[in-house]
């Protein structure tokens, strides 16, 4: 973990000048959505820290619900791998066969039609569908905010190497809590008290 953090810090330092040049790239607004990839029971069962990932995804989804950010969900081959686990909210659902969500023409058409430019991304697996989706979305001009404590793989080495690769390619690395406060923007937000309650939730059991 220390080696991963060291590598990410070096990459972040190299990227600092590029980020500072465009302040708007650090802000989330109405051109932003949450995209949750492939949180199906058969896929997530072998994932490391799966309970923490589910817990954090529910936190960001509940925040989106309060602040009226649209939520999009993909399912990988649902006929074989089953449906998305329960998140107790309405969302836009798209099925896919390709690992990259960018290959879902209906999903990308929706993004283009609604002028979506920034994507908060979470789900599984980091080194497969998350990685390939990020690379394709970056190439297509989307800005990606990757919620690193809401993604995972079966093997930590795959997860860690994919994180390094994605940040090198221009993905913005963040966490659920940091993103929630970025979305809220100020303690004067009328929903701040409710959102603070979401942030303060504690996970009782981590597998």
For the stretch 142-192, pLDDT in tens is 999 999 999 999 999 999 999 999 999 999 999 999 999 999 999 999 999
pTM passes above 0.85: yes
Domains along the chain?
Answer: 30-199 (3.40.50.850)
In sequence order, the 6+-apart residues with CB closer than 8 A to the CB of 60 are: 34, 120, 122, 147, 150, 176, 179, 180
Residue 66 to residue 135: CA distance in whole angstroms: 30
- The one-character DSSP state at 24 is G
Across the chain, what does the average pLDDT equal?
90
């Amino acid at each position: 973990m220390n080696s991963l953090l060291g590598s990410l810090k070096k990459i972040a330092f190299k990227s600092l000048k590029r980020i500072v040049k465009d302040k708007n790239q650090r802000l989330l607004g109405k051109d932003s959505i949450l995209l949750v990839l492939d949180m199906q029971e058969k896929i997530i069962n072998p994932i490391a820290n799966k309970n923490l990932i589910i817990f954090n995804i529910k936190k960001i989804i509940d925040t989106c619900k309060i602040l009226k950010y649209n939520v999009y969900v993909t399912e990988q081959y649902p006929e074989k791998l089953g449906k998305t686990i329960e998140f107790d909210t309405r969302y836009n659902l798209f099925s896919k066969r390709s690992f990259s969500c960018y290959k879902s023409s209906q999903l990308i058409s929706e993004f283009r039609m609604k002028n979506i430019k920034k994507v908060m991304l979470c789900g599984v697996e980091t080194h497969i569908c998350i990685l390939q989706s990020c690379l394709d979305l970056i190439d297509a001009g989307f800005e990606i905010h990757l919620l690193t404590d809401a993604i995972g793989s079966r093997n930590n080495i795959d997860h860690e190497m994919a994180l390094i690769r994605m940040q090198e390619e221009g993905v913005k690395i963040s966490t659920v809590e940091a993103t929630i406060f970025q979305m809220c923007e100020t303690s004067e937000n009328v929903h701040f008290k409710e959102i603070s309650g979401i942030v303060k939730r504690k996970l009782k059991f981590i597998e």
